[in-house]
Homo-oligomer: A and B are copies of this chain.
């Protein structure tokens, strides 16, 4: 996507990000090839650091209250292509190579239901 050419490089650690009152930051996950938004999940410090180190998306599951290395159970791994941060440093955007389906329902994207449009 040509908008990637305009990106500024930023060196930030987890401490530079603004987390919510549970220490989490939301992550928008986008297919790096076609731009489809696949899911939104949350990272805590450990999930962020594993993701940056292994270049495989790892989250904190709010429902299960545990670390969730995407694909360990399903095989539906997400390989990191890029990670961006927004102006307020309270949201991340990850572009990934998605193996199989991002959604546990089997849909490619969790956003498979249209309310309007």
Contacts and interface: CB of A to CB of B under 8 A. Distances in A.
Contact of A104 (B39, B40, B87): B87
B37 A36 contact: no
Contacts of A9: 113-114
A40 to B, nearest CB: 5
Given A39-B86, A87-B110, A1 B34 contact: yes
Nearest to A81: B117
Interface string A83-105: 11111100111010000000111
A21 to B, nearest CB: 9
A10 B80 contact: no
Contact of A108 (B3, B37, B55): B3
B1 A36 contact: yes
19 contacts: A3-B36, A7-B112, A7-B113, A8-B113, A9-B114, A37-B93, A39-B86, A80-B116, A82-B116, A83-B114, A83-B116, A84-B113, A84-B115, A85-B111, A86-B103, A86-B110, A86-B111, A86-B113, A87-B105
**Interface pairs A-B: 5 shortest CB-CB:** A82-B117, A35-B35, A10-B113, A86-B110, A83-B116
